[in-house]
Amino acid sequence: MYLVRAEPMGDILLISHECPACNFNNKRSCRHVAIASEIYKRWQWWEPAKEIKTVTKRIVLQPDWEPVTLSVTMEEALRAVSVHAS
Ligand SMILES: [Zn+2]
């Protein structure tokens, strides 16, 4: 399972993620990032569209993160984790 962290910062959605596919792709975003941003949009559907910025960073799950249960069809176990900017 690869974690994707989606962190809203104003009108930017900062997505931190790392997986073998990203590294293989020359650190370009992989489909996990695309899935995560799509999930975020569904989860926070009332928010205006954000600009997606991706950061290649290994994600360590934090206890205060909020797991988002996915209703989309997933090919693999993926969890989108969001931290509310306060
Ligand atoms: Zn990935």
Number of domains in the chain: 1
Separation of CA 29 and ligand 1 centre (Å): 7
Best CA proximity match to 35, nearest among 1, 62, 86, 60: 1
pLDDT digits (tens, 9 = 90+) for 27-51: 566 888 888 888 888 888 898 889 9
Q: What is the pTM of this model?
A: 0.65
Could you give the CA distance from residue 65 to residue 81 in angstroms, rounded to a whole number?
Answer: 6
* Host domain of residue 23: 2-82
Separation of CA 64 and ligand 1 centre (Å): 22
86 residues of the chain, pLDDT tens digit each: 678 888 888 899 998 888 887 777 665 668 888 888 888 888 888 988 899 988 888 877 778 777 665 544 443 334 444 444 44
DSSP 43: H
